[in-house]
Amino acid sequence: MNTVRIATRESQLAMWQANHIKDLLLSVNPELICEIVGMTTLGDRNKVTPLGQMGGKGVFVKELETGLLDGSVDIAVHSMKDVPGELPSGLGIVAMAERADPHDAFVSNDYKTLGDMPDGAVIGSSSLRRVLQLKAAYPSLAFKDLRGNIDTRLSKLDDHQYDGIILAVAGLTRIGQGARVTDAILSSVCLPSAGQGAVGIECRDGDTRILTILDTINHKATFHRVSAERRVTLKLGATCNLPVAVFATTDKNESILIRAFVADTEGAEVISEEISGPIADAYDLADTLGERLLARGAARLMGQS
């Protein structure tokens, strides 16, 4: 009864995240025995097909969720930006570690910022969210798909296949590659993905033993901000594979600001909205923001109507 089996992808970053959660659990529950169970997902196996064609974010979590549902593991650890808004019946995200830097990172060996790059310079990214926002800000740059784990992507940059690449600041920092961040991209230029920088924990509904344990490490401020972001994506349609960004920030006055970006796949039409109010009303504000986006045609952009 003291054992917690932790499902994770087997990439370097995912293993760091799983061990981070393990360390947090043991720091407040030293009597636990934590076992890490590595799994390979479809997103890990197929590094060629664009994510949108494979089914979007869910390709990085499905196998872990199968382990939860069949009882072979007790919790699954995820990068929250990889978790679809709608989860399988019987499962829930119930805790999160404190969020790290949520911004996107520009990485280059030759240029200090995206603005320093010459016309036609090639930027690598697998994310439509990133590509379309950065295309709008830097229309003279060329964008090329980039897949693989962080080390693979950095190697392709170092092999001169790209002039610069876009990754997450948090991911680079967590695997000891923070020095490779050439420039952190302002959220006013590229709004982060919902949940970016946050590590979440999924478990079975009603598993009271696990729920009690996880409550001891839940960083509530992160949980509420990221949950608000996810409510917006869920309102829009959690299975869409189109560029959607939602980012919530709070201030010392107990206020929350939620910003959102939605576009079609070509970036020809963009909808941006924001809403602010008391932190206590965060979920209602998120719902209202989602409704505003839908009223402005977000469903049409995402091919839902």
Catalytically active residues are: 82
Residue in the block written with tokens 């919790």: 75
Cα-based angle 27, 68, 126 (whole degrees, multiple of 5)? 90
Query: What is the dihedral angle through the alpha carbons of 125, 56, 219, 201, rounded to the nearest 10 degrees?
Result: -130
Q: What's the Cα-to-Cα distance from 66 to each of 8, 60, 77, 224, rounded to whole Å?
A: 12, 12, 13, 26
Q: Rounded distance, CA 224 to CA 226, Å?
A: 6
φ, ψ of residue 147 to 5 degrees: the values are -120, 170
Which of 43, 45, 22 lies closest to 34, judged by CA?
22
Cα radius of gyration (the chain): 19
Residue in this structure with the two tokens 């995820």, named with its chain if needed: 78
Cross-sheet strand order for the sheet of 3-9: 33-39, 3-9, 75-79, 199-204, 91-96
CA 183 from centre of chain = 19
Question: What phi and psi values does residue 119 have, to the nearest 5 degrees?
Answer: -55, 135
45 contact partners, CB below 8 Å, separation of at least 6: none
Instruction: Collect all residues with Cβ–Cβ distance below 8 Å to 259 and sequence separation of at least 6.
Output: 187, 191, 245, 246, 247, 248, 272, 273, 274
- Could you please report the per-residue DSSP string of 122-148? EEE-S-HHHHHHHHHH-TTSEEE---S
CB-side neighbour CA atoms (13 Å) of 3: 7
- CA–chain centroid gap for 154, Å, is 19
